[in-house]
Amino acid sequence: MKKILVLSFLLVAVFLQSEGWKLSGTSGLNVNQSYYSDNWESGESGSFNWIANIDFKAEKQMHEKFLSKNKLLLEFGQTHTQNKDTDEWEKPSKTTDNIEFESLGLFTLNSYVDPFAAFKFKSQFLDESDPEETKSVNPITLTESFGVSRFFIKNDMQELSSRFGGAFKQNINSHDDIDNTNNGGLEFVTDYNITFSEKNADFKSSLTLYKALYNSESDDLEGTPEEDYWKETDVDWQNTLTYKLNSFINIKFSTQLLYDREISAKGRFKQNSSVGLSYKFL
């Protein structure tokens, strides 16, 4: 975890030292705590929850015909629960864990659509899927994509863009009993950001659809009930609404809808709402 944080801050420092970049960055800490005395009769137990995050973006028109857009998102949170029988605090469990970095190069040809090439790194700080061993920064998904993109809206208050093209993915898992896989297919991404009046609130939405056309494990899966699962379209839809009460306190509401047939036959849904500290460092 420390290595990822150091590398992230080094990446931010590189952008800060470069001229001409349009930079934005916020960090936040949301905390919730409760405590119950020994004679509390309703059976509740004390808890302490926290979520920390860093959201950094850097954009620059490198050339008249080339735009570079980069974003880094780090999120981590835990819940600490008190055992209601012994009053001992149990081992914390994760509530949020996310590492995302994406670099997008857009060839701005001022045509109806513009070519693009992108790279995305996605992982988590701690992999606790194996009760015998906790892994750092595992598993890792690398995505290289290319195709065409279009901005439908782009100004100081709103931005709406979509891109469509081919994508290659590598799934890297450092657990000895899990093989690494790769696949390729088609990807569609739509991003929408809006800042409301006086910049007291903003809303971000991102929808990613991915249809695999090739999978390195297809031969091994042939003849099994799961042989066609990888062919179904993956969905990742994220939404975040943030309202700033003042310069340091905000209210955040976020949702994420995931569908991956190889993981679950049903869609997976996550919702978080919190009040906490926020600091805009750029």
| 3-state SS record for 110-158 | CCCCEEEEEEEEEECCEEEEECCEEEECCCEEEEEEEEEEEEEEECCCE
Q: What are phi and psi of 252, to 5 degrees?
A: -125, 135
Provide mean pLDDT across the span 129-148. Answer: 91
Assign 16 to helix, strand or coil: helix
Q: Is the pLDDT of residue 42 over 60?
A: no
Beta bridge partners of 127: 135
Residue 30, pLDDT > 60, answer yes
Number of other CB atoms surrounding residue 116 within 10 Å: 23
Per the prediction, the chain carries an average pLDDT of 87
Task: Say how far apart CA 3 and CA 169 lie, in whole Å.
Answer: 24
What pLDDT score does 244 carry?
Answer: 87
pLDDT at 169: 96
Tell me what pLDDT residue 31 has.
80
Taking the model in full, what pTM does it have?
A: 0.87
- Better-scored residue on pLDDT, 281 or 208: 208
* d(C-alpha 183, C-alpha 260), whole Å: 14
Q: How many CA atoms lie within 13 A of 270 on its CB side?
A: 13
**Cα separation, 11 vs 267, whole angstroms:** 34
Rounded Cα gap, residues 82 and 49, in angstroms: 12
Q: DSSP state, 85?
A: T
Distance separating alpha carbons of residues 214 and 231, to the nearest angstrom: 8
What's the Cα-to-Cα distance from 149 to each of 42, 67, 68, 146, 238, rounded to whole Å? Answer: 56, 12, 13, 9, 20
Find out whether 231 and 260 touch, Cβ atoms under 8 Å: no
Q: Map residue 2 onto helix, strand or coil.
A: helix
Hey, what are 225's tokens?
Answer: 């009930």
CA distance linking residue 171 with residue 158, whole number of Å = 34
SS3 at position 247: coil
pLDDT tens figures, 56-100: 999 999 989 999 999 999 999 999 887 777 777 788 889 889 999
| Residue 152, number of CB atoms within 10 A of its CB | 11
The answer to whether residues 106 and 116 touch, using CB atoms and an 8 Å cutoff, is yes
Helix, strand, coil shares of the chain, percent, nearest 5, are 10, 60, 30
Rounded-to-integer distance, Cα 122 and Cα 136, Å: 13
Q: What is the mean pLDDT of residues 9-37?
A: 75
Distances, alpha carbon 80 to alpha carbons 93, 199, 219, 253, 275, in Å: 7, 34, 44, 21, 18
- Give the confidence band of 131 by pLDDT, cuts at 50, 70, 90: confident
**Span 146-174, average pLDDT:** 94
Q: Would you state the pLDDT for residue 188?
A: 98
What are the tokens at 73? 């998102």
Residue 239 contacts residue 269 (beta carbons within 8 Å): no
